Every structure is written in C-alpha cells, then in structure tokens.
A and B are shown apart, each in its own frame.
Chain A
Amino acid sequence: MNGQVSDILAEDARGWVIRLQDSSFDGWDAFADWLERDPAHLAAYNAALETDQAMAALFAVPPEPVIEAEPVAARPSRRLFLISGGAFAAALAVVVGWTSLDTGRSARTEYATAAGERREVALADGSKMVLNGATRVALLDKRHAELIQGEALFTVRHDAADPFIVKTGDVTLEDAGTVFNVVRDETGLRVSVAEGAVIYQPQADAVRLTPGDALSVTGGAKPEVTRTVTADVGSWRGGQLVYRNETLERVAADVSRNLGVQLRAGKGTEAIPFTGTISTQGGPGAVIERIAALTGTRAIRAGKGWMLDTIDGAPR
C-alpha cells in the first residue's frame, strides 16, 4: 500500500474491520470520525480490509478429497457426500475433535455440540453419527446410542443379528440397514430415512419407515408418517433446511440449533405451515431475515435472540 503503515495505525484499522463485521455494529458515525481525522486512516482501513478478505477467502478453499476409511460403510457414505457436495466438505473443515465424558462406570460415552457447531463421530464398527448443533448423544455401547437432545444423522453399518438401536426419550428406533436423521427437541420427535429402513418402537407400534418416510411425534400424540425426498434427509449438513408443511415452531427450533442463535415463533405464528428450503449460509442475521420474508412474518429482537412475529401484530 502507500508506504509503511505504522503498527498502531494498522492495529486501529484492523479493529474497525473486525467491528464492522459484527451484524450489530452501529458505530457508523464514529467510524466516519476516525476516517476523517487523518487521510492515512482510509488507506490503512482499505489495506486491512484487503488483507482480511484475502485471508478469509483461504478458508473457502475446498479441502483435499476425503478418503473413506471403512470399506463397509463406503457405499452409503459416498452417496451422502454426493448429496451435500462442497458445502459438507466445508462443514467438515470446522469439525473439531470430540470430547468424551467417560462416566467411569460403563462404556457410556457422551458427545455434545454447542448450538451452531457440528461434529462427526466415527464408531468402531464403521458406523457414523453427524451431530448438528445443540445436540447431546450418548453411546451406550458400540451398537446402541441415545439421542438425549438435538439432531443427528446416523449412517449405520447394518447387521441383522445385531441391529443398531437409537433410543430417544421413551422411543426406540431400530435400524434395518440405514441412513437416517433423528431430531429430538422441544417440539417433539422427527425421524426421516434416506436409505434402508428404521423400525419405530419395535416392541410396540413397530412402524417400519422406508426411504423417503418422515415420522413426526408431537407431545403425546400418535406418530404421523409423511413423505419426504431422500436427498433432503440430513441436508442440514450442506446448509439447507428443507420443509414440507412444517410448523414455524419447528423451523425456528431447527434454525436455533443450526446457527447458534435463539429464534422462536411468536404468539400466533407457531402453527403457520411452511413449505420450502432455507439456506443457513450467510450469517444468522441474513438467514433470519430470509425466513421472515419466506414465511410472511417479521423478525424482531427478543431478549438475547430473535422472534418471528405476525406482520399485523402491534409494534412494540
């Protein structure tokens, strides 16, 4: 740039680059004041901006192709990679190692993610779990997992003699050769199947779910089975939330988990049915604005988070 920018000036300029990136930044007049104080400030800011953009662009470089380690799991896994493509590869890049909280008394291992985080867990038998944000999964033994809360996509190596079991709440899901997604949150339970089959409550209802089936349970009601598209199962990993006639309450819960923001449906909007695809890319503010536009609601700040409110509701 224009000669050597002093370290202090460079630091100040970087400070503005950092602050401006926060979607809640509102110090525009102070920023203009700083720029006006010395013509060198603008040059320093532009230099810092260019550096920031060049470095951030590096993080968008596609990582080297992932080679599947387990031949048994290779077929379903590879298909999953195709479904979500580059975006999933990018999500993989942010997967950090997992922590295991060994209780000491058994082989129980717990995996947890913060809202907005993702984590992939490879199991000893070649099966795999991908945890969405705000999710806790306990592995009771190598063929037995419990989804305590949140959302996870299971890619299970099938063994008819030793079925893989997922417990969640008082519900048991048994695999029959399978890629399936399970959500347990405040809105109830959702199970969708991409490959193979899952048996819901094998000892009781024994509902057999095949590819494209989506089961939903709200409160104590009977399970409802609807159809989805298999390619959409687990599409959250690629930054897409796909809905057919889903309540806004559930959309809000999903967004909160995926983005690490609190979003809830305001009074009178919980049951608004939503059909469509929401991209979770571009920062929480932009995503929430898009959702409001798509669902005919308006997004307002509520406490630490956001609320979707009816357009005709009284302004606060």
Chain B
Amino acid sequence: MTSLASTSGLQRVLESERPRLLRFLAARGAGDDAEDVLQDLWHKISGAEARPVADPVSYLFRAAENVLRDRQRASLSRDRRQHEWQDLANSDDAPQGERVLIARQRLREAEETLLALGPRVDQIFRRYRLDGLGQAAIARELGISLSSVEKDLQKAYRALAQLKDKFDAE
C-alpha cells in the first residue's frame, strides 16, 4: 500500500503521529529533548522542497532517529571536549599521515575479515551497508532467501564488531 504526502501533508502526519513519535524518542533516550527533537523535525520537513514520500510514517520515524543521532553526536563531542579523554587526545596527537596509514591498515583487516566469512557474506555486506540496497533487493539479486541475507549480515556485523574490540584494545 502506498500513500503519498506533500510537505504540508508530512506536517499533518507528524501531528497525528506525535504520541507515537514521542514515545519512540523517549525509549530512544531523548529524555527531556523529545519535544525539541520533534520541533527540529517540524522545521526540517517544512524547509525541504515539496517532494513525494512513499511512506510518510516511516519517513518521519527515520527522520526523528536521524535528528536524535545528530544531537547525541553533538552533545557527545561536547562532553569529550570537556573531559579531554586521554585516548582522544592521543589520537589527535598522531599526525594526519599516520592516522591515514592506520586507517588503511584497519580497512585491509576489515576487508580480510569479511572475505574470510566467504565471498557471499562480503558481497552482501557491501551491497547492504555501503551501497544502501535493501535486504529484499539483495535476496532477489542473488536469488537467495531473505533469511539467508539476514544471517549473512549478522555474521558480517558480528565479525566487524569483534574486530573493533580488537582495534580498541590495540
């Protein structure tokens, strides 16, 4: 089922979905900022040029999630500046060139980690996480079941999380 909404339509949807969105934002850790997040969101959708949105409710939830992430990132970096975390200070000390070299080395390790899980896991991870293709589209493209795509993604993300733990310990 597809419904369409123009920008003013989106604002109407935001109003009617306000309780659900607020509940989501509270669960998502927005705390007292939940109303502010919705306010930001309201301005965002009024500022955008009129464009059709296939699923307005999902669109608003996703946009709310994104606004929240931006705000949390901003406050996190404020906190970090205040505390001057040692590890952050250290990494800032490393010269730019060296940091690029470390990043390249880590990228190689990440690529090897994915390939070690098999070429299909590697391909599915790239299509999904880097190219932004949906799981259903990937399943069709590769002629495999949706649950196979899901399992491969879980494998890839799990392995990358373990690799991140290793990087953090270095």
A residues engaging B (CB < 8 A)? 10-11, 14-15, 17-18, 20-26, 28-29, 31-32, 35-36, 42, 46, 48-49, 51-52, 54-56, 58-59, 61-64, 94, 96, 114-116, 259-261, 282-286, 289, 292-293, 298-301, 304, 311, 315-316
Contact = CB atoms under 8 A, between A and B. Distances in A.
A282 B27 contact: no
A292 B131 contact: no
A116 B134 contact: no
Contact of B140 (A24, A56, A300, A304): A304
B11 interface: no
Interface in B46-99: 49-55, 57-58, 61-62, 65, 69, 72
B100 interface: yes
A39 to B, nearest CB: 9
Contacts of B158: 11, 14
A298 B132 contact: no
B164 A54 contact: yes
A55 B137 contact: no
B110 A59 contact: yes
Interface string B24-48: 1001110000000000000000000
A35 B128 contact: no
Interface of B: 2, 4, 20, 23-24, 27-29, 49-55, 57-58, 61-62, 65, 69, 72, 100, 103-104, 106-107, 110, 119, 123, 126-137, 140-141, 150, 153-154, 157-158, 160-161, 163-164
Q: Which of B57, B100, B136, B153 has the most CB of A within 10 A?
A: B153
Contacts of B160: 51-52, 55
A32 B157 CA distance: 22
Contact of A260 (B23, B24, B141, B154): B141
A55 B55 contact: no
A116 B54 contact: no
11 contacts: A23-B132, A25-B58, A25-B62, A26-B57, A26-B58, A29-B20, A42-B27, A42-B29, A58-B107, A61-B103, A316-B2
A115 B164 contact: no
Closest 6 CB pairs of A and B: A283-B132, A298-B52, A35-B27, A293-B51, A28-B61, A32-B27
A20 B72 CA distance: 17
Given A61-B100, A63-B104, A260-B141, A300 B131 contact: no
Contacts of B131: 94, 116, 259-260, 283
Contact of A36 (B27, B51, B134, B153): B27
Contact of A14 (B49, B107, B154): B154
Contact of A55 (B49, B61, B65, B164): B164
A61 B100 CA distance: 8
A185 to B, nearest CB: 18
A58 B103 contact: yes
Contacts of B62: 25
B93 to A, nearest CB: 19
A301 B1 CA distance: 9
Contacts of A49: 69
Contacts of A304: 136-137, 140
B128 to A, nearest CB: 7
A315 B9 CA distance: 15
A284 B29 contact: no
B27 A56 contact: no
A26 B57 CA distance: 9
B161 A315 contact: no
Contacts of B104: 61, 63-64
Nearest to B122: A96
Contact of A300 (B4, B50, B126, B133): B4
Contacts of B2: 300-301, 316
